[in-house]
Chains A and B, each alone.
Chain A
Amino acid sequence: MAYFILKRLFQSIFVMLAVAFLAFSLFRFVGDPVSQMTGVETSVQDQEQLREELGLNDPFVVQFYRFTTDILKGDFGYSYRTRQPVNEMIASRIPATIELGITALMISLIVGIPAGVYTALRTRGFATQTILLTTLVGVSIPTFVIGIVLIFLFGVTLGWMPTFGRGGTVDLGGWTTSFLTLEGWSYLILPAITLGVYQLTLTMRLVRAEMMEVMRSDYIRFATARGIPQRKLHYRHALGNTMIPVITIIGLQFGGVIAFSIVTESVFQWPGMGLLFLESVRFVDIPVMGVYLVVIAFFFVLVNLVVDILYLMIDPRLRVKEAI
């Protein structure tokens, strides 16, 4: 088991190095950093001096090493567009995106799991067919369309919810949160639903497939024969055994949620990392693009690693397989 964890750890480090290399190549080869940082009136000598000071004349490997160590120290350089340190820019945007992502994931679980169980138990009912068709539509409709529909319904026609920005937030020592006020929730709920719909359909389909698989197994039949009440049978015995693959996939999806929040944040002008990334793509603000890339990949790789290790701990069968 230690061998397996070590192997996965090395794999993760490799992926991170590759992504860092990608980000570094962005810095180095897309546009000239010096001409980005200086104005038109800067003399050639000054430009050359700056180039030397920044270490851009050093060998490639040395530069990449410096880049990687700077990232590990949390020094991400300066934005071309705003001239602010990139780590401050990203840090101020992280809470908005994380809170949006978590709320979306919660919505997808709270609705997705019961719906999955229901459709698995009543395979031929009218409600099941309707739900299944709705999920197919949910997978196929682009996120931004869902956002538009919600804005149109609840923002424009009914006027119940604000549709723009994050509203008032409470500052908890650098972490701004929408969770503590009613106003914050009213701004959060539409974007969170928009982002959660795709995850919801995915969760539902997965729970349904796993549930149907488990319900056919011998131990469920035996439990039925023992006279265990239906409700307990379904929710304790069957659902419990579907949770491992479900948790895995949901863990893996969280990285996707954070990335897909780019679209949702754009529709609702939600001031998170995705909106920042979008602005930097538009202005070719390479440092911010590179750092966003590294942050997202780190998140993704970390979640992957934790899920794999958890999986190994939860399911004893896997440990045995590794031992052989």
Chain B
Amino acid sequence: MMSRFFQSDGVYYFLRTPSAIVAAIIVVIIVGGAIFAPWIAQSNPYDLASFSLMDGLLPPVWQGGDPRFLLGTDNQGRDMVSSILYGARLSLFIGFMSMAIATVLGVGLGLAAGYYGGRFDAIVMRIADVQLALPAILTALLIDGISRGLLPPSVQQDLRVVVLIIAIALSLWVNFARTARASVFVERNKDYVQAAMIMGQRPSRVMLRHILPNIMGPLLVIMTVDLASAILLEATLSFLGIGLPADSPSLGTLIRIGMQFQLSGEWWILWVPTIVLAALVVSINILGDFLRDIFNPRLR
């Protein structure tokens, strides 16, 4: 099994694409750091007892800072490394969750629309049209605004992350739905699908067990690219100050906080999270490009 994996085309081309290797390493480091943040980070930015105001605004080590804080501290005395690990954890969690929800929703609707056609297809595609008339960032902002109006203030703070995930997921599902639908139109008339249908298998089984595995390639590419979009969208919303509150900082919130220190010389508070966010998204996009080339043999 393992040897088959190492002999596959994907691995072959991966090992010959230096940019993909570098990107994969960066993604693994950041995702690994995010997952293991509670064990790696020396202090917890959510826990007021774990940092002290006395350590505030220390520069990074190479600029004469305290050796305890490799990348310096912010104005509250929080260790930048710890903040970033926890920030990336939150950003990636929101990114993955919204991407997953968008995938399930979009692929489900797209498969069904392509399979059944007719009126159901028309309804789904008209909803997609309306969704496309509203750019992703606008949809997310709107859902955020609606939730502020509908939810009582007492639960708003607790539900911020959930609202954010739903807002981002709802602004990304159309891509999946359109791709899935277009692929189903192609696959539906192929012999293997016809055979499965003639054998009397249930539509859900034909869609999920027969068609879905055969359209995984393009979907995987969209999933990668949309994960990057979701992370960007979360960062943008948090940066605009309508995403997460300042006490649960994601990478976007950290950048927003850092903006206040842009003019006063504490560059690391702004630039460290900015560079991590950019590196993460660039790397994910490079991997997405790589996957696209793999699944599109004409471009090789």
Contact B135 A266 (CB under 8 A): no
- How many A residues face the partner with a CB closer than 8 A? 45
Distance from A305 Cβ to chain B, minimum over Cβ atoms (Å): 11
Knowing A259-B138, A293-B142, A297-B133, say if A140 contacts B278 (CB, 8 Å). Answer: yes
Interface assignment of A301: CB less than 8 Å from any CB of chain B: yes
Our pick among B133, B144, B284 for the contact of A281 (Cβ within 8 Å) is B144
Q: With the chains together, A241 CA to B104 CA distance in Å?
A: 40
Q: Which residue of B lies closest to A285 (CB)?
A: B145
A15 adjacent to chain B (CB < 8 Å): yes
Task: Judge if B236 is at the interface, Cβ distance under 8 Å.
Answer: yes
Q: Is B126 an interface residue (CB 8 A)?
A: yes
Q: Is the CB of A262 within 8 A of B262?
A: no
CA distance A14 to B128 in the complex (A): 12
Contacts of B15 in A (CB 8 A): none
Interface residue stretch chosen among A148-156, A184-192, A312-320: A148-156
Across the interface, do B126 and A14 meet the contact criterion of CB distance under 8 Å? yes
A207 within 8 A of B: no
Contacts of A152 in B (CB 8 A): 262
Q: Is the CB of A301 within 8 A of B240?
A: no
Chain B interface residue count: which class? 35 or more
Q: Which of B134, B146, B274, B278 is close to A297, meaning CB atoms less than 8 Å apart?
A: B134
Q: Which of A9-32 contact B (CB under 8 A)?
A: 11, 14-15, 18-19, 22, 26, 29-31
> Which one, B135, B146, B242, B277, contacts A30 given CB within 8 A?
B146
Are A144 and B255 in contact, with the CB atoms below 8 A? yes
Which residues of chain A have C-beta atoms less than 8 A from B255's C-beta?
Answer: 144-145, 148
For B232, list chain A residues within 8 Å (CB). 140, 142
Which residue of A is nearest B138, CB measured?
A259
B241 touches A (CB below 8 Å)? yes
Interface of A is mostly: helix
Contacting pair B130 A263 (CB below 8 A) = no
Chain A residue nearest to B231 (CB atoms) is A142
Bound complex: CA A145 to CA B258 (Å): 12
B262 touches A156 (CB 8 A): yes
Query: Is A136's beta carbon under 8 Å from chain B?
Result: yes
What 1/0 flags go to B175-207 for Cβ under 8 Å of A? Answer: 000000000000000000000000000000000
Give B256's nearest chain A residue, CB to CB.
A144
Residues on A with beta carbons closer than 8 Å to the beta carbon of B145: 280-281, 284, 289
Do B242 and A282 touch across chains, with their CB atoms under 8 A apart?
yes
Question: Which residues in B have their C-beta under 8 angstroms from that of A151?
Answer: 262
Interface residue A245 (Cβ < 8 Å from any Cβ of B): no
Residues of B within 8 A of A136 (CB): 282, 285-286, 289
Question: Shortest distance in angstroms between A193's beta carbon and chain B's nearest beta carbon?
Answer: 17
Q: For A304, give the chain B residue with the smallest CB separation.
A: B133
Q: How far is the CB of A294 from chain B (nearest CB, A)?
A: 11
Q: Considering the chains assembled together, what is the distance between the CA atoms of A281 and B227 in angstroms?
A: 25
Shortest C-beta distance, A171 to chain B (Å), equals: 29
Q: Which residue of B lies closest to A25 (CB)?
A: B146
A36 to chain B: closest residue by CB: B149
A110 interface contact, C-beta 8 A: no
B257 within 8 A of A: no
Least CB distance, A152 to chain B, in whole angstroms:
6
One of B235, B262, B281, B289 near A148 (C-beta < 8 A)? B262
Contacts of A22 in B (CB 8 A): 130
Q: Does A137 contact B (CB under 8 A)?
A: yes
Whether A260 and B149, one on each chain, are in contact in the complex, defined by CB atoms closer than 8 angstroms, is no
Contact of A142 among B141, B236, B285 (CB under 8 A): B236
Beta-carbon contact of A255 and B135 below 8 Å: yes
| A contact residues around B274 at 8 Å (CB) | 145, 148
A282 touches B241 (CB 8 A): yes
Contact string against A for B residues 258-282, beta-carbon threshold 8 Å, 1 for contact and 0 otherwise:
0100110000001000100110011
Q: In the complex the two chains form, is A137's CB within 8 Å of B137's CB?
A: no
Pair A142/B259 contact, Cβ less than 8 Å: no
A139 B285 Cβ-Cβ under 8 A: yes
Residue of B nearest to A143 (CB): B236
A140-B278, A141-B278, A151-B262 known; A260 vs B142 contact (CB < 8 Å):
no
A304 to B142, CA, bound (A): 22
Report A81 CB to chain B, min CB distance, Å.
Answer: 13
Residues of B within 8 A of A118 (CB): none
Contacts of A281 in B (CB 8 A): 141-142, 144-145, 148, 242
A32 vs B132: C-alpha distance in the bound complex, in angstroms? 29
B141-A140 in contact (CB<8A): no
In the bound complex, do residue A256 and residue B135 qualify as a contact, i.e. CB atoms below 8 Å apart?
Answer: yes
Cβ-based interface call for A233 (8 A): no
**B69 within 8 A of partner (CB):** no
B281 touching A140, Cβ below 8 Å: yes
Does A67 sit within 8 A of B, measured CB to CB?
no
Q: Which residues does chain B contribute within 8 Å of A256, judged by CB atoms?
A: 135
Q: Is A270 on the interface with B (CB-CB < 8 A)?
A: no
- B residues near A (Cβ < 8 Å) are 19, 126, 129-130, 133-135, 137-138, 141-142, 144-146, 148-150, 228, 232, 235-236, 239-242, 255, 259, 262-263, 270, 274, 277-278, 281-282, 284-286, 289
Give the top 4 A-B pairs by smallest Cβ distance, nearest first: A30-B149, A259-B135, A140-B282, A281-B145
A-B contact pairs, 6 of them (CB 8 A): A14-B126, A133-B19, A156-B263, A263-B240, A278-B240, A293-B134
Q: A15-B129, A31-B150, A141-B282 are in contact. List 18 more A-B contacts (CB 8 A).
A: A26-B146, A136-B282, A136-B286, A137-B278, A140-B284, A144-B236, A148-B270, A151-B262, A256-B135, A259-B134, A259-B135, A278-B141, A278-B240, A278-B242, A284-B149, A296-B134, A297-B134, A300-B134
